[in-house]
A and B are shown apart, each in its own frame.
Chain A
Amino acid sequence: AQRVTQPEKLLSVFKGAPVELKCNYSYSGSPELFWYVQYSRQRLQLLLRHISRESIKGFTADLNKGETSFHLKKPFAQEEDSAMYYCALRDRGSTLGRLYFGRGTQLTVWP
């Protein structure tokens, strides 16, 4: 069974502080990991995918297969980063594309 765990429901930091949103997964196949962001109950937007290994809006995430983690990090948080963040997993070996989502972490960046 696939499972994505985001242990923090809420996370608050001050502007300029580093932030790390945790994501752990359990999956027996070949997973592809994503981070999605949702601002003020708007549509979900793809932030990062692990195969791209890119940095978007200053965020990075590294897939650690040993620890089965895909934590999202940003060295200096900004107020506009306040949003709901979802970690998601997809089976790369499947012909189907459904996403398995974690429960999400609400990030608040205080001024």
Chain B
Amino acid sequence: DSGVTQTPKHLITATGQRVTLRCSPRSGDLSVYWYQQSLDQGLQFLIHYYNGEERAKGNILERFSAQQFPDLHSELNLSSLELGDSALYFCASSVGLAGTGEQYFGPGTRLTVT
């Protein structure tokens, strides 16, 4: 167990809907990263938050947004869902901002869009 938790574990929804994925980092970790794992794109970085502030964006669609709250948990919001958004969404946390610490991954949320 990495100490990173994600809810829900599974999510099934219809096209056009909106969902929110939640991530709680390890105690003391200030950085949260979101990654999308799909069969055709592999593992792709979406967005990085540090202590409540957005730090970097990757291949994140405009329909997707995220935030990190004062208690450091993070939410990834996916709207106007399409079939192609079906994927496993991971979050990872690390203690600092700089790229020196290990990233600990959560168990992921499996999103199925029907």
Contact = CB atoms under 8 A, between A and B. Distances in A.
B29 to A, nearest CB: 11
A42 B97 contact: no
A49 B94 CA distance: 15
Tell me what chain A mostly uses at the interface: helix, strand, loop, or mixed.
loop
Interface residues of A, number: 24
Given A98-B45, A98-B58, A101-B43, A43 B2 contact: yes
Interface in A29-62: 32, 36, 41-46, 49
B48 interface: yes
B90 A44 contact: yes
B31 interface: yes
Contacts of B55: 96
A94 B106 CA distance: 24
Given A41-B88, A43-B90, A43-B106, A96 B42 contact: no
A66 interface: no
A97 B107 contact: no
Contacts, number: 68
B103 interface: yes
Given A32-B99, A45-B105, A91-B99, A98 B33 contact: yes
Contacts of A25: none
B106 A92 contact: no
A23 to B, nearest CB: 13
A97 B105 contact: no
B95 to A, nearest CB: 10
Contact of A97 (B33, B35, B43, B44): B33
Interface of B: 2, 4, 31, 33, 35, 42-45, 48, 55-56, 58, 88, 90, 92, 94, 96-108
Ordered nearest first, which 6 A-B pairs have the shortest CB separation? A97-B99, A101-B43, A44-B105, A103-B42, A43-B105, A98-B45
Interface of A: 32, 36, 41-46, 49, 86, 90-92, 94-104
13 contacts: A41-B108, A45-B2, A86-B43, A90-B99, A92-B100, A94-B99, A96-B99, A97-B96, A98-B48, A98-B56, A99-B45, A102-B42, A104-B42
